[in-house]
Amino acid sequence: MTQPVHVLYTGGTIGMQPGPRGLAPAAGLDLLARDVQQQSPALKEVPEWEFTSLSPLIDSANMTPLQWINIARATREAVEKGASGVVILHGTDTLAFSAAALRFWLMDVSVPVIITGAMLPAGAPDSDAWENFFGSLTAIADAAPGVGLYFHGTLLPATRTRKVRSHGRHAFQAVAGDSGPATAPADRFNFDMPDKAQQVGIVPLYPGFDASILTALIDSGRYGGVVLECFGSGTGPGDDPAFMAALERARQAGILLVAVSQCLEGGIMLDIYEAGQQLRAAGVISGGDMTRETALAKLHFLLHQASLDETRRRQLMETNLCGELSPA
């Protein structure tokens, strides 16, 4: 007999209830779901499921990389106990970040893992909670092993999806691109869950960018990598000596700088413009058409691979590991 799907509840809007200071994550979502399923004949064919909650339940605005690791650990434990799949319930604000991170940390899992959430709490008028909850349970039967993101009837790629709307059912959208088959790396990745998360930052460029922002981050000594949100196909203020000096400081400190585009489609091509070539010459790594969420998650994952040196990490950032990059 097929083992039940394990539902892992981390918090988020899907299970929130009104409190004295507004909506907040609450227990009891599993009881509500059982009641809804029993009252709906259409849900009788949903796969069997079991339910656990992480503690504490959180608003996903409070999600951290260490909690990604805790979610990945709990997912692995469920799989080791025989779960036929795992559905992770998560807040929507940082859902795309967590989906990308889990896609890397659970790259080797042998069962499908689907992460979902809701824009309105279960029980609220016109809520999307149950369509996403039970939709994920149904979708998992035909899903491939690995992590996917389910929302409003569609199973989306975990490393190529962004939250594009703050209201409404159609909150998530897959980013255009053709990643093709993933390239199996020669390295053996370590999927042991670390107890401490590496620090990675995101710095968006803008007209008149103050390079001291980037310099301060580099000089703090806390960051192993930084995602630079660049203009267009990968340009920045290359005629600003302070900005170029900050890039050089990062290279000397062994801090990985990865360029992603502020555009929704197209990605980074550092060799087109002189300003882009300046970034490449300063040691900036091309993030191709990765989203900022995925670039951040991939940097975290690779920085935790102690067996990799800086050169190999740079190479792997530009290598399609699990569908995050289109061919160059």
Annotated binding-site ranges: 60, 92-93
Residue from 84, 139, 70, 146 nearest 109 by CA: 146
Contacts 24+ apart (CB under 8 A), 166-170: 167/119, 168/119, 169/119, 169/128
Residues labelled catalytic: 13, 92
* Residue 143 vs residues 163, 205, 261, 323: alpha-carbon distances, Å: 21, 38, 30, 15
Continuous H helices in 53-168: 65-80, 95-105, 129-139
Residue 284: DSSP 8-state: P
- Residue 17 has phi, psi (to 5 degrees) of -135, 155
Judged on CB neighbours under 10 Å (0-12, 13-18, 19+), 219 is middle
Q: Known binding site for substrate: residues?
A: 60, 92-93
